[in-house]
Amino acid sequence: MSKVLLLSAGSTNTSGNKKAAEYTKKYLKQKEIVSYLYDDLYSEIPFILEGGSEQPEKIIQIRDTLVSCNHLIIFSPVFNGGYASHLKNTLDWLSLAFDDYKYNELFKNKKAAIVSAVLGKGGNSYNAYSSLSSQLENYGLKVFKDFYLFSSNNNLEQRLRENTQIKEFNNFLDDYLKN
């Protein structure tokens, strides 16, 4: 059975990305799919430096979890048409060699999907998706064909509370997990 790692790059407790990740974890649990959620990718993970550094404890936890997962869902905010620097930093840390794993080997043969919750209308989200999906492919991940966008136009919190748009999002998750 699939195991899914959820990485939420939202930077506040009220982040739409964090809420979407938490909803996804509950949805996967209902479907009896094992999932692991990691968020707060900014306060416990220092920026990576050239020449190698000791890997932070949070990276080791995420890395050790990802070893057993075959799916990864990334919840990414959009900043100026790009994705968050702390998300790239986390992914760069995870790409490093460790134990018997070579550089980027942790990502090989794993599938990734991208979900974004943005405060605006989402006009820059396609650029961010394109940039992030290219980077994920550079790491060796197999990126799902499309991404899911929650924008202020469709009010994530209200739609999660009222069960509107949920069927569409659940279908996105189901399609991703069956591929």
Confidence class of residue 151 from pLDDT cuts 50, 70 and 90? Answer: confident
Confidence class of residue 165 from pLDDT cuts 50, 70 and 90? Answer: confident
pLDDT tens, residue by residue, 64-78 = 999 999 999 999 998
Confidence class of residue 80 from pLDDT cuts 50, 70 and 90? Answer: confident
Q: What is the mean pLDDT of residues 79-92?
A: 92
pLDDT of residue 76: 94
pLDDT of residue 162: 64
Q: At what angle do helices 125-139 and 85-95 cross, to 10 degrees?
A: 10
78, 128 Cβ separation under 8 angstroms: yes
The first and second tokens of residue 78, run together, are 């959009």
pLDDT averaged over the chain?
A: 89
Topology adopted by domain 3-178: Rossmann fold (3.40.50)
Q: Hunting for tokens 């996105």 — which residue is that?
A: 172
55, 46 Cβ separation under 8 angstroms: no
pLDDT tens, residue by residue, 166-176 = 888 999 999 99
d(CA 24, CA 21): 5
